Every structure is written in structure tokens, then in C-alpha cells.
Amino acid sequence: MEISNGVKLVIFAGTPGSGKTSVIKYVIQELKADFKLFFAKFDCLKTEDDQFISERYKIPAIKKLAGELCPDHYTALEIPKIIKNNQDKDIIFIETAGLCLRCSPYIEEGLGINVLDVISGEPSRYGPILTKADLVAISKGDLISQAEREIFRANVLKVNPKAKLVEVNGLTGEGTIDIVESIKASPEIKTGKLTLKHSMPSAICGYCYGNKTIEEKAVHQRYLAGKELKNLIPNLNCGKCGFKSCNEFIRAVLDGKTEKEQCPFIKEKLKKIKI
Amino acid sequence: MSSKTISNGVKTEIEKITILPGVNKFGEKEKFEKIEIKKGEIVAIVGQTGAGKSQLLYDIEKLAQGDSKSKRTILVNDKKADKKLRFEPKRKLVASLAQSMNFLTDISVKNFLSLHLKARGKRFDPKLIREVIEEANEITGEPISPEINLLNLSGGQSRALMISDIANVSISPIILIDEIENAGIDKEKAMQILVEEGKIVLIVTHDPTLAFNTDKRIVVKNGGIIKVLKTTLREKGIGHYFNWVGNYNLELREKIRQGEKVEKTELFCEPIK
């Protein structure tokens, strides 16, 4: 992928209800006059945030629904396409679905922001969503005491000593200026090579291919059937079968919702085998 | 203890901060030469909603060098702030007491204070913990025991403990008090404890007791500082009188709680010592 103009990629991750969208609203408000912005919201089943952002702030916005896929894996698959389609922009904002503490597709070449709710529990329970963030925006601090806030900050720094900490308030916009400064100082993506800050969790069992029966044998059989199909398809996630990714297609075939011939590559291979 | 800020292992004592003028939201230069706030001083920031109180607090917290919206410069001990002091992520120059003052941690007062000390990188210090609780008890009418659970503290006890904790345990040399709920505490005593510990106290308030219990009031309008009022002796007296009324009210509440009868009222307060 060739990128002529540098573009900044800012990824917001955080559990649902932590205040990601509220923080993003203030950040967009602050930056929209001076920069060309783009907003992509990833979610599992439903969201209207894209519409809300584009109507209120008059910037282009899209939504991406992961459906049967892990939303963070899906985000990582989609990031290159979003960058490719938005090379005329200055800053691309990606808001993740924020369900998984083990996962969040921060990339080395961009800025990863974790919006962390102070009443969400011990920071040491969180995985890469917190430990790999460049900036941790601590939200809802006004609900607890100054002493508890200091303890919370110390606990965050224990698991992510390099993070920049900003206390934010999604209702008043407090802390926005610091986030905006970090975005302005963040690097621009100049080459096509992007690297995840950490590996995604493995997806290797029958459940990953859509198995629902809780039984060792059934899980294994589903896994073998999935693996067999996996060997036949190219794993390009090209979407020509009508599904977002090859894994989703395999699940649909195993569930009897579609035919394996829907994949143009399998069709070719099967033809060759017949000859 | 005194107001020390740790920056790269080097302790920086804040003796004084100085505000140099910037511009208001119309781009007009602010009309003052400089405003100095010394360690142990209490300064109120007053003005209407949206007048620029938050921007002023932000400038102080970030030790602005003409690079913020207001273009103000904040000096520390008459010098431009060290870059390390400005951008050290672990440092927090301003600690704040916000409007809602609740504890959410399910733990005893004593264990909570030692947890806070630990978060500050300090050792368990039973003497300091005892002092924090003793000072809190000077602010509230109902004494706090070290063994009581934080969640069982009354509103007044919570506020008193928070103020004593911020004075004695918090790392931040500047304390911001933003329109706090102040029922159930001796406000004058609370402020006295903060300044005795060498903090600079900034209060956003329009409560006469608090606003008159200051050294000066910075008046903000249209994004700029329009004047600085030195709190007069007369105003201090008025503030002191209302604080006395508040404390007398607390005393009466306590009597009512104890099931006593109150047949006469006191009308005169003691003058300022």
C-alpha cells in the first residue's frame, strides 16, 4: 500500500459505557476546523454513532459491524482498507467495539487510546487494551475521591508505566486539550506496513467454527471439518462469497447456510480434483 | 510535610507561582502586571459559568508558557517551569476536591490510608495515619474511628477525611476546590489544615464563608482576568461570622441527634484569633 500524504491513525478502545464516544465527540469538535477527519465505528450488532457523528460534526463517518466475527480481529482486517480509502484525510479515528480486555487492535504506527472508567475495577485485571495503550484517558473520576483517584493512577502506571495519563470528563470535556495535544504530536503513517502492538488470541477450536454442542467429540469433529475446508480456500478474506471473512464463510457452510461452491477458489479446486 | 513534586527523582519545592497576563477571548491583553500566589495562600476564583475559570486552572496545572489558548505564562519560584516538571506523566501538580465527595472503596479508614501511602510509594506509617485521622476529627463534629469502613462514613466525615488526606498524603502541591458540598464540616478549620501543610489552595466558589476566608479573589470574565480583589478585614470578619453560624448549626444538630432540648440560642461569635 502506498500512502502519498501522511495520515494519522487514532484508535480508541475501552469497555462499553466507559465514555469512548463522549471523549471522541469533544476531540472531534476541537480538531475539525483545522484537520480533515474521518470516523469509523466498529461494533458487534448495532450502532448509530456513525450517523450521530457525521450529522453533528459534518465529517465523513462509517460503521462496521463484526457480526459473527471477533470485532477486534475484524477491525485489524479492515484498517488497511479504511486507510486506503481515506488518503486525503489528516486524521482517521477508529472506535473499537471494546468488548475484550485481551484484545484491542492498537498499531505501532498510530496512537492507541484506552478510555478507562475508574469504577470498572482493578487495572491489573486488564490486558493489552490497557497495558499497550499510548494514552490512558481515565473517565468518571468525579465519582470517587481524590485519594482513590491517586491510588487508581498509581495502579494504572504499575501495569503500563509508559502511558500518558489524562483525566477526562465525558460530560464537561475536561481533559480534551491533553488528548488533542497527544494526537497532534502522534506520528503519521507514511508506508503501507502496519504492525499490531500485540498478537491477537488464538482461534483454533471447533467453537471458532461455530460449534454449539458442549461435548469434546462434537467440538473436535467440527474442528476437523473446518480445517478441511480451510485447506481448500485461499484465506484471502476477499469477500467474493458474500461473507466478511473466510472463517465466517466456513461457519456458514458447516451450518448448512451456504454452499462451499460460493467460494470461487474452492470451485476451481474442486473442478481440478474431479479431472 | 511540605509541597514537594517529584520530577526525575529531583524534588522541586513550590514556594510561589506567578501568573503573567495573556489574552481574553476577544484577543485583548489582560490588564494586570502579574499575580503572585505563595505557598500557604488561599485564592478564590470567581466569575460566571463559561467566564474562563477552567482555562485559568488548566493554565496553572499545565504551567502554561504562552502555549495555551489564553497565552498566559505561569512561573514557578520566579522562573520558567522546567520541561521535566511540565511533562512528567507521573506528576500531578493539582489535586482536586470535586463536587461529589464519596468514597467507593469497601475498606477500613486505616487500611485505606495505608493503601494511599503505598500508591505514593511511601511506607506504612502508623504515626502519619493517626495524624490524618486526628486532623479529620478537628474538621468534623462526629469523630472517625480508624477501624470504621469508608462506606459507613457520614457525608461530613467523608469530606473531613478527604480534606485531611489531601493535606497530608497527596503528592500535589496545589489543591483545587471546586464548588464543594460543604455541609457537616468546619470550613475555616478545613482551609487552615490545607494551608498549614504548605499547599497553595485555589477555590472556585461563591459561598461567602469560603470566598471571604481567602487572601484574594481573582475575578474572571470573557476568558480573561479582569481584576484581583484583596480580601478585606471586614470581609474576613463576615466570612468568619457565617462560619461560626455554620458551626453553631452543627452543634445544634448534634444536640438534636443526642435527644437533647435546646431552649436558648447564642447570638455572638468569638472574634478572629
Domain contains A16: yes
pLDDT averaged over chain B?
Answer: 85
A87 with A116, same domain: the answer is yes
CATH of B102-171, one of 3.40.5, 1.20.1250, 1.10.8, 1.20.1070: 1.10.8
Domain contains A167: yes
Residue B132 neighbours by CB under 8 Å, 6+ apart: B113, B161, B164, B165, B168, B169
Domain contains A1: no
CB contact under 8 A, B92 and A150: yes
Closest Cβ opposite residue A148 in set B69, B103, B171: B103
Q: What is the pLDDT of residue B251?
A: 86
Domain contains A192: no
CB contact under 8 A, A147 and B166: yes
A210 with A166, same domain: the answer is no
Min Cα–Cα distance to chain A from B266, Å? 36
Min Cα–Cα distance to chain A from B103, Å? 6
Domain spans, chain B: 102-171
Q: What is the pLDDT of residue A71?
A: 86
A147 with A270, same domain: the answer is no
Q: What is the pLDDT of residue B102?
A: 76
Task: Check whether B110 has a pLDDT greater than 50.
Answer: yes
A168 with A34, same domain: the answer is yes
Report the complex ipTM.
Answer: 0.72
Structural domain ending residue among the three candidates A185, A216, A231: A185
Of residues B183, B163, B162, the one with CA closest to residue B253: B183
Helical spans, DSSP H, in chain A: 20-31, 49-57, 71-85, 128-131, 146-159, 176-185, 216-232, 246-254, 264-274
Q: Give the three-state DSSP class for B134.
A: helix
A59 with A92, same domain: the answer is yes
CB contact under 8 A, B58 and A177: yes
* B113 to chain A: closest CA residue: A147
Global pTM value: 0.79
Q: How many domains does chain A have?
A: 2
Q: What is the pLDDT of residue B34?
A: 94
Range of the domain at A179: 8-185
In B, which residues are within 8 Å of A164 by CB distance?
Answer: 89
Beta-carbon neighbour count of residue B21 at 10 Å? 18
What's the grid cell of residue B125? 506509617
What are the residue ranges in chain A where pLDDT is below 70? 1-5, 273-275
A62 with A154, same domain: the answer is yes
Domain contains A197: no
Q: For B14-60, how does the pLDDT look when each residue is reduced to its tens digit (9 = 90+)?
A: 889 999 999 998 999 999 999 999 999 999 999 998 898 888 988 88
Q: How many residues does chain A have?
A: 275
State whether residue B101 sits within 8 Å of chain A by CB. Answer: yes
State whether residue B102 sits within 8 Å of chain A by CB. Answer: yes
Q: For A155-190, how does the pLDDT look when each residue is reduced to its tens digit (9 = 90+)?
A: 999 999 999 999 898 887 888 888 998 999 999 988
Domain contains A94: yes
Closest Cβ opposite residue B97 in set A146, A163, A177: A146
In B, which residues are within 8 Å of A150 by CB distance?
Answer: 92, 95, 116, 119-120, 170-171
Domain contains A264: yes
CATH of the domain at A228: 1.10.15
Residue B2 pLDDT level (bands cut at 50, 70, 90): very low
A91 with A62, same domain: the answer is yes
Domain contains A122: yes
Q: How many residues does chain B have?
A: 273
Angle separating helix axes B187-196 and B126-139, nearest 10 degrees: 150
CATH of the domain at A27: 3.40.50.300
CB contact under 8 A, A148 and B105: yes
Q: Which residue has the higher pLDDT, B13 or B224?
A: B224
Closest Cβ opposite residue B104 in set A146, A148, A150: A148
CB contact under 8 A, B104 and A164: no
